[in-house]
Structure formats: C-alpha cells, structure tokens
Amino acid sequence: MKQSVFTIESNDRIAENTFRMALTGDTSAFTRPGQFANIKLDGFYLRRPISVCDYNANGLILIYKTVGEGTEYMSQLLPGGKLDLLTGLGNGFDTALSGENPLLIAGGGGVPPMVKLAKTLIAEGKKVTAVIGFNKASEVYCEDALKKLGVNVFVTTADGSYGVKGFVTDVMKSLDYSFFYTCGPLPMYRAIRKTVRTEGQYSFEERMGCGFGACMGCSIKTRSGAKRICKDGPVFDSAEIIWEEPKK
Amino acid sequence: MNEAPNMKIDLCGLELDNPIIPASGTFGYGYEFAELYDINILGSFSFKGTTFEPRFGNPTPRIAECPGGMLNSIGLQNPGVHAVIENELPKLKKCFAKKVIANVGGFSVEEYAKTAQLLDECEQVGLIEVNISCPNVHNGGMSFGTSCEAAAEVTRAVKRATTKPVFMKLSPNAADIAAIAKACEDAGADGISMINTLLGMRIDPKTRKPVMANKMGGYSGPGVFPVALRMVYQVYEKVGIPIIGMGGISSAKDVIEMMLAGATAVQIGAANLTEPFICRDIINELPYTMRKYGINDLKEIIGGAHNG
C-alpha cells in the first residue's frame, strides 16, 4: 500500500449514474487487476474504496457509479484537482488460474475491473470472453473498451433495451470456458454459482472502515476462517466461499 | 533552548518514548502497520480486543459514517487469546521491540480473569487494558462499564489474575463516568483508559433501515474529542491513578489538550483508519507543537488545565 496525491485529468459521465475519472500519479503499489484505491474526499470522514478499471506506470482510470453522497461529490470534481489515494489495496484477480479461454462475468458497477483483467489475460495469450449485464441501455458502458482489447463481448439488459434480453446467466449457459472471473452484486453471484461449470474467482464488496486490514469492518466467513474483504480479498476462490441465503 | 523537548512519560513503571499509543481495534496486532512505517517509534500500542474464545463478531455491514467520524459494530472479532499468544504475538515481536498493551474483552467476570491470566505470562505484554463496554451475559446483557459494582468486580478479578498493571477502559455511555472510574480505583485498578466509543446509529432514508446490520454501533472520530476531553478532565479530579486519554485525537495539538485535561498518555483510534500514517506524523509534529506552546517536558503538563 502507498499513500500519495493524484491529479485529476478528466472526470466525465459515460452512462447513467456512471462516471470515468482519469488520474495521474504514483501507481507503483498496484500489482494485479481487481485491486482498488481508497480515496479521501473533502467533507467525508471515511475514504471511498473504488475498484481500479485500468492503470499504467503514469496513472489510473476509475469508473464508478454514483450510489451515495461520496460518489456524487466525486462526480463533480474538475480536471486539475488533487486527490489523496491509498493505492495497491486488496489481492486482485489471479490470472495464473485462467486456463486457455477464461470467461469474465460482470454486472452493473462490477464491470470496471474487467478491463485491466482482460488486458492482462490477453497479454498472456489467452482467449477472453466477457458477459456484461445491465438493467437497461442507458446504463451500458465498457463494451467498446473490452471489444478494442480483442475480447468477445456479450451485453445483456434486463429490459431488453440493448443486447440480449435477460441476465448474464442466460448467455453463460451456451458458452465454453476454462475458468471464470466475476464482479457484481450478490444476487448475480447466487445465480452464477448455479450456472457455472468451472472453478472461478468472485470479487466482493462491503462497507469498509480502513481498506487495508486494520479495522475488521468488512469481514466475511470463508471455508478457511474469517477473512477481511479489503486485505485478504476482495477476490476469493469459488471453493473458499460460504454462500449464505439472502437476508429477509 | 535548542535541546530537543522531552516527550518521555512513565505509565505505571512502563517507560514510553512518547505518549502516542494506537488504540485497540484500529491497529490490528500491529504488523499490518509495520509494512507502512517502523512502528518502534510508537510509545506503545494497544492490540485488537481479545476474548477467551475466537469471535467473528456482528453481521456486516458493520461500518457507517457521519460528518465528525464513523460508527462501528465489529463486535470484538478476534481469534481468541490462545491464537493471539501462539500466532499474533510472535509475529508482532518481529516488528515491535517494545512492550505492548493487551486489550481484553469478556462477557463474564470469569472470562476476563481467564484471558488476563494467560496474557500475564507473556513477556511482551507491558500492561493489561480491560474493555468493560462489553455486555454481561449473566446480567441481562447490561454493559459492565455502566455499573460501579460490575466494573469493580471485573477490576478485582483481573487484578487477582495478573501482576501486570491493569487499566480499566471506561465506556462513555455510563451515567456518571467519574463514579465508575473511582469504583475501579477503589477495587485496585492501576489506571484508567477512556473513552470507548459513544453508542450511536445511522438510518438510510432510501431503505428506511439502519445502515448497520447490528442497528447501533460505537461513534468515534474527531466529533467525540470535546466529550472525551471533558470526561478525562472530570475523572482526573476524582482519581489519583494515571489516565490514558482517547477519543477523536487527530493532531499533536489534540494530544497536548488531552494531557492538559489529565491524561498521562493518549491513544489514537479512528484517525489510523483514514490516515494510516497519523501516529508517525503526530510523533514527528509533537516536538514542534511543544515548542509552540512553550513546553520543554511533556510530562509536566499532565493535568495542567486544573491548576489555579
């Protein structure tokens, strides 16, 4: 983990309630796709953990949904502004597990980390397929970014206003893959786990206090004991996860 | 005048290089922070609240935010005292050469005593800090820290179980915190740690439900600092044993205020979570802040606000 100040290069709306922020700064703490940054915002006590969409030696891209006051404030920040980030947080996806033709499955706000993941897998010579699901056409993003990398992309929308009508699981059924990586909401995970035919990795989220393993705010029970989503995760192997029924 | 100001303090025979101590629950068992900076610069630190049995704690979400800080309802997640002694303390020893403060939780008087007794044998442990904000399962779940009698009973039991100095960590949710402090002192406590978090809650207007699964949680952060300062000031007037002051401390100036109110040492809690280098920064800043206020020897200001 590192703490450093980044400069906002751009911050634009790319879909309904969805923004893309490009930042320049020290990205040397990032080692894997699927890691996150924890961002200090003026007027908010806790930092905001945001998954990293893509990064290189000079900066990073964050794509985030406006889900509360913090991310709404973030969406109003202007180019040239400075942000204090904790970087290189979380374990990230393990691309060594992928096999020859991995499948990426993402829903809604879970799509961004798939960009760096796909880029890494393709650089390793793998044939990558992605299924990305949204509620409706106005929410769709990242389709072109993934296609440009050479990913075979399927888009689903729940209302059928774009791509395949239905859910990611409706497309997954007819696909062949060696391993899967997924990021999205829990109801999607519950559906995926009944559909998948291989091992895979799931990325989890939770309200965090610190983001680097100190406060135990975001713990999860796994088959090898209590783990911290921020430090031991956010990515967990499918065999590790204990699936609990949704809370009533 | 160019001599470096003296930051050393004495805590029941424990010589600390400075009064800065990360608070229990915000610093794990230390080694996470050792990846960030050399934690040997700290006066000491108070490790994650440890109970006899392992605990997962409360269901998530167990974190919420508010303008002056945060709320948590972790529920004392810890691997249990045996695993702490076998795994965590040896790991800590590799990155921290000083004595550590062992923070102990419990749900019965016997549990506190059993846990303290095991920690008594650990050479690394300099003193034992007893969290009495836990609910007493044998008394309808009422917190030990809200009753003079229960607080005194825990104090006596832990004192019998250890020869190390015992600091009772008080809850601000008691009706009269000074009375609780006095009861602990009379029962043999060597010192007081205060304050634990203030009970609070948040509700999400979108879902119309409490934000945290446990509904309520402990409020900490800069918003509680004036409350903590006031309570330390009041307790200092009632007891003769040393006080470790905490509650929202976020700067070297806060440290000096807390010591003027009566604290011998201070703990930094929530600030570690949002600013992971805060303890290092405060230690670096403290000599300059001392000079600014004309302080050459930090221990001389303890309780200084009570003079005159």
A140 with A180, same domain: the answer is yes
> Which of B70, B273, B277 is opposite residue A214, by nearest beta carbon?
B273
Nearest CA in chain B to A231: B32
Say what the pLDDT of residue B67 is.
86
Separation of alpha carbons B219 and B252, rounded Å: 22
Residues 6+ apart with CB under 8 A from B106: B51, B52, B112, B115, B134, B154
A181 with A106, same domain: the answer is yes
pLDDT(B308) > 80: no
A198 with A107, same domain: the answer is yes
Say what the pLDDT of residue A248 is.
53
Say what the pLDDT of residue A220 is.
95
B9 interfacial to chain A (CB closer than 8 Å): no
Residue A110 lies in a domain: yes
A100 with A186, same domain: the answer is yes
Q: Helices (H), strands (E): how many in chain A?
A: 5, 16
Measured in angstroms, the CA of B123 and the nearest CA of chain A are apart by: 24
Residue A240 lies in a domain: no
Please report, in angstroms and rounded to a whole number, the separation of the first and last CA atoms in chain A: 37
DSSP H/E element including B287:
helix B278-292
pLDDT(B1) > 60: no
- DSSP string for residues in A38-65: EEE-TT-SS-EEEE-SEE-SSEEEEEEE
> Span A157-174, mean pLDDT?
95
With 0-12 / 13-18 / 19 or more C-beta atoms within 10 angstroms meaning exposed / middle / buried, residue B108 is: middle
Which sequence spans correspond to the domains of chain B? Answer: 9-306
Separation of alpha carbons B256 and B198, rounded Å: 22
B48 interfacial to chain A (CB closer than 8 Å): yes
Active site residue B134: yes
**ipTM of predicted complex:** 0.93
Say what the pLDDT of residue B140 is.
65
Q: What is the pTM of this model?
A: 0.94
Residues of B in contact with A208 (CB under 8 A): 63
Measured in angstroms, the CA of B88 and the nearest CA of chain A are apart by: 14
Inter-chain contact A46–B273, Cβ cutoff 8 Å? yes
CATH number of B9-306: 3.20.20.70
Inter-chain contact B63–A216, Cβ cutoff 8 Å? no
Residues of A in contact with B28 (CB under 8 A): 213-214, 216
Residue A7 lies in a domain: yes
> Span B169-173, mean pLDDT?
95
A133 with A70, same domain: the answer is no
Residue A6 lies in a domain: yes
Inter-chain contact B63–A209, Cβ cutoff 8 Å? yes
Residue A52 lies in a domain: yes
Residue A200: strand pairing partners: A180
DSSP H/E element including A228:
strand A225-228
> Span A135-143, mean pLDDT?
97
B32 interfacial to chain A (CB closer than 8 Å): yes
Which chain A residues have any C-beta within 8 angstroms of a chain B C-beta? 1, 3, 40, 43-47, 86, 206-210, 212-221, 226, 231, 247
Separation of alpha carbons A110 and A115, rounded Å: 11
Inter-chain contact A40–B274, Cβ cutoff 8 Å? yes
B53 interfacial to chain A (CB closer than 8 Å): no
A111 with A180, same domain: the answer is yes
B27 interfacial to chain A (CB closer than 8 Å): yes
Q: How far is CA A156 from CA A136, A168, B48, B61, in A?
A: 9, 6, 45, 30
Domains held by chain A: number: 2
- Which CATH number fits the domain that encloses residue A116? 3.40.50.80
A126 with A58, same domain: the answer is no
Residue B4: pLDDT band with limits 50, 70, 90: confident
Inter-chain contact A212–B276, Cβ cutoff 8 Å? yes
> Which of B32, B48, B276 is opposite residue A86, by nearest beta carbon?
B276
> Percent of chain A, pLDDT > 70?
99
Residues of B in contact with A45 (CB under 8 A): 65-70, 221-222, 270, 274
> Which of B56, B70, B277 is opposite residue A209, by nearest beta carbon?
B70
CB A24 within 8 A of CB A7: yes
Q: How far is CA A181 from CA A52, A105, A157, B155, in A?
A: 15, 6, 20, 52
Residue A157: strand pairing partners: A134, A165
The amino acid that residue A19 corresponds to is F
With 0-12 / 13-18 / 19 or more C-beta atoms within 10 angstroms meaning exposed / middle / buried, residue B304 is: middle
Residue A244: pLDDT band with limits 50, 70, 90: confident
Say what the pLDDT of residue B229 is.
98
A65 with A140, same domain: the answer is no
> Which of A86, A213, A218 is opposite residue B32, by nearest beta carbon?
A213
Say what the pLDDT of residue B134 is.
75
B273 interfacial to chain A (CB closer than 8 Å): yes
Separation of alpha carbons A50 and A89, rounded Å: 10
A178 with A195, same domain: the answer is yes
pLDDT tens-digit series, residues A178-218: 999 999 999 999 999 999 999 999 999 999 999 999 999 99
Residue ending a domain, choose from A25, A56, A89: A89
> Span B250-268, mean pLDDT?
98
pLDDT(B136) > 70: no
Residue A103: strand pairing partners: A129, A180
Separation of alpha carbons B257 and B255, rounded Å: 5
The amino acid that residue A88 corresponds to is G
Mean pLDDT of chain B: 95
Measured in angstroms, the CA of A73 and the nearest CA of chain B are apart by: 14
The pair of structure tokens assigned to B52 is 């006899």
Say what the pLDDT of residue A158 is.
97
pLDDT(B181) > 60: yes
A71 with A138, same domain: the answer is no
pLDDT(B141) > 70: no
> Which of A3, A46, A247 is opposite residue B65, by nearest beta carbon?
A46
Say what the pLDDT of residue A246 is.
66
Residue B49: pLDDT band with limits 50, 70, 90: very high
Nearest CA in chain B to A70: B65
Residues of B in contact with A40 (CB under 8 A): 274
Inter-chain contact B56–A221, Cβ cutoff 8 Å? yes
What is the DSSP code (8-state) at residue B93?
H
> Span A215-236, mean pLDDT?
96
- Which CATH number fits the domain that encloses residue A30? 2.40.30.10
A84 with A134, same domain: the answer is no
pLDDT(A138) > 80: yes
Residue A106 lies in a domain: yes
CB B229 within 8 A of CB B257: yes
Give residue A198's domain range.
Answer: 95-203
Inter-chain contact B62–A86, Cβ cutoff 8 Å? no
Q: What angle do CA B64, B67, B73 make, to 5 degrees?
A: 25
A199 with A115, same domain: the answer is yes
pLDDT(B57) > 70: yes
Nearest CA in chain A to B213: A247
pLDDT(B79) > 70: yes
- Chain B, residues 163-222, CB within 8 A of chain A, namely 211, 213, 221-222
Tell me which of B134, B148, B184, B279 is the catalytic residue: B134
pLDDT tens-digit series, residues B189-237: 999 999 999 999 999 999 999 999 999 999 999 999 999 999 999 999 9
Of the candidates A102, A119, A94, A107, the residue with the CA atom closest to the CA atom of residue A234: A94
> Which of B61, B64, B72 is opposite residue A206, by nearest beta carbon?
B61
